[in-house]
Amino acid sequence: MNQNYKAEPYRIKMVEPIREIPKTKRIKLLKNAGYNPFALKSEDVYIDLLTDSGTGAMSQAQWGALMQGDEAYAGSRSFYRLESVVKHITNYQYFIPAHQGRGAEQVVLPQFVHKKGMSFISNMHFDTTRAHVELAGARAIDCVIDECFDTAKHHPFKGNFNLEKLKRIIEDKGSDNIAGIILTITNNSAGGQPVSMENLEATAKIARSYGIPVIIDGARFSENAYFVKMREEGYQDHSILEIAQEVFAMADVFLMSAKKDGLVNMGGIIAIKDNEQLFKKVQGAIVPMEGFPTYGGMSGRDMEALAVGLQEGLEEDYLRHRIDQVRYLGDQLREAGVPIQYPTGGHAVFVDAKAIAPHIPYDQFPAQSVVNALYIESGVRAVEIGSLLLGRDPDTNENIDTPLQFMRLTIPRRTYTYNHLKVVADGVIKVFNDRKKLKGLTFTYEPQILRHFTAKMQPIK
């Protein structure tokens, strides 16, 4: 292994056995799963890169904190401990827990939609955010820079907003019809790509000039802060916390799936800077949807673990290793000629399936074909980030075409070693070398909302 990749900043204290089942069995299991790896049993997966959401390993400090959980229905001391940590990191006045990110979205986003025809603008909405925008009666508009779509081109901040396009959208729609501007950091759908501080500041300034609320979708805010420190001039001497606090100062609301940079298996965050009226609305809405405001769908022990995890996630030593693991896998693939979103981002390597399988149309889901081939080849479970995930246009009901048809190789935190990632790379390279045999897919069952989770498919002959 190249010495430029940082070794694991931890020792392994406990192990979980994994097994690689025969290829002939994997073929049958995938068919029975409707060619959707979401439907596979975890015990039938060798290396699981489906998601980094809640799949990482907790530290000994977090496991110790679990034992201190106060499970009181109201006024739990675990809530107040977590509240103090969230307020310290964000400098926001109000905090409510949620069971995970989508719990926060379903409670908060509708509060900004007060008439028909409204839209949220984001650098790129991810799946549940887009779904909750549409369920709230609004529309999701993506506004990322053009460099994002050239996967081979190096740009340090491919997750950035397209500022000129942002202003045009606001002028065309009218500022009264923009429910909010969502800063997605890091930008997952763009390839886990970071957003620069300069771009965030400019975006927030535009929002303020039009009187539009700013919402941070910050599941990976620590990873984004690390990229700012490493890649943006003027931030090398700043701590990760200082960078994060500068970002939070730009926004009105912070929503987080804490299952990412919070380093826990379950949890979410709603933080509101200083809008007491909004806080009271959210507080009222969370009771029937998530739970009492001092637990919001979380157990006391989970709040204790999250209070520790949020602080551990800010540690630069941990973040360097985290980002280096992603870079290592990306470098292995690039050296073999596999096209990926370059440079690699924070939590995953995004393989350019459109470049691998140009013979498969977008509405036959080339990235899903590559995902399935990887499982058959090596027992590795990945996920499609493309037209299957995007779903159908809510107005035309047509499949949404996107130039970004990705297979996402999502690396859980503190879970796999570099050798595991070498196995993943070998499997992807084999699929790439045999790419002409890949076939498109068609639905045998298609749910209306978030279809990629439960759809059933079959190969087109």
Structural domain spans, the chain: 23-52+315-459, 60-312
Task: Enter the CATH code of domain 60-312.
Answer: 3.40.640.10
Contacts of 127 (CB under 8 A, 6+ apart): 389, 450, 452
Q: What is the pLDDT of residues 53-76, one digit of tens each?
A: 999 999 999 999 999 999 999 999
Fold agreement between 23-52+315-459 and 60-312? no
pLDDT given at position 27:
98
Cα 414 from chain centre: 17
Quickly name the fold that domain 23-52+315-459 has: Aspartate Aminotransferase, domain 1 (3.90.1150)
Is the Cα dihedral 259, 292, 307, 232 positive or negative? Answer: positive
Q: Coil, helix or strand for 448? A: coil
Helix (H) or strand (E) holding 443: strand 441-445
In this prediction, the residues of the chain whose per-residue pLDDT falls under 70 are 1-3
User: Given 3-state DSSP classes, what are the helix, strand and coil percentages for the chain, each rounded to the nearest 5?
Assistant: 45, 15, 40
pLDDT given at position 127:
86
Q: Please tell me the distance from the alpha carbon of residue 79 to that of residue 297, in angstroms, as a whole number.
A: 12
Q: Please tell me the distance from the alpha carbon of residue 380 to that of residue 401, in angstroms, as a whole number.
A: 27
Instruction: Say what the pTM is.
Output: 0.95
Q: Please tell me the distance from the alpha carbon of residue 250 to that of residue 246, in angstroms, as a whole number.
A: 7
Q: Please tell me the distance from the alpha carbon of residue 399 to that of residue 363, in angstroms, as a whole number.
A: 6
432 by Cβ neighbours in 10 Å (0-12 / 13-18 / 19+) ranks as buried
pLDDT given at position 156:
97
pLDDT given at position 461:
84
pLDDT given at position 268:
98
- Active-site annotation, residues: 73, 126-127, 217, 219, 260, 452
pLDDT given at position 118:
97
**Encoding tokens for residue 299?**
């157990």
pLDDT given at position 3:
62
Radius of gyration for the chain, computed over Cα atoms and rounded to the nearest angstrom: 21
Q: 161: left (phi > 0), else alpha (psi -120 to 50), else beta?
A: beta
Contact 348, 398 (CB under 8 A): no
